[in-house]
Amino acid sequence: MLCQFSFSNFRSYRDETTFDFQAAALSEFKDSLIKTEKGNAILPVGVIYGPNGGGKSNLLAALGCVISLVTEPVYELGKNHARFIMQQKVPCVPYLFDEDSREEPSRFQLFFRIGEYES
């Protein structure tokens, strides 16, 4: 299960940005959290909101880019098989509004929980 997704130098995001599913210590929604004995409670749903032009779509595109980077080589190895994830290829475009960032790679970091453990 995806616990946290961080990225930097992607489209309108120059600095590191994190989309975190780990629950804060709020008692309001404690009954709806995904809990394990050995890890932090995880939110079952995440919400992205903000003004027009605030980067909501680019955050989702960053996650789509990671999916493309992972699934495309698998798909290319077995071209005669049907795609197992229906996903448009999302190009990895760096932050273009400053000269240094244009030449730097985009960075992605994902944290998963597998079973009872976080990795």
Q: What is the pLDDT of residue 106?
A: 95
Q: What is the pLDDT of residue 80?
A: 58
Residues (pLDDT < 70) of the chain are 79-88, 116-119
Contact at 8 Å (CB) between 66 and 73?
no
All structural domains of the chain with their residue ranges: 2-118
Place of tokens 């605030």: 54
Q: What is the pLDDT of residue 48?
A: 92
Q: What is the pLDDT of residue 82?
A: 61
What residue spans of the chain are helical by DSSP H?
56-77, 99-103
Per-position b or e across 57-89, b if 16+ CB within 10 A of its CB: ebbebbbbbbebeeeeeebeeeeeeeeeeeeee
Place of tokens 């780990």: 22
The CA distance from 39 to 56, in Å, is: 28
Q: Is the pTM of this model over 0.85?
A: no
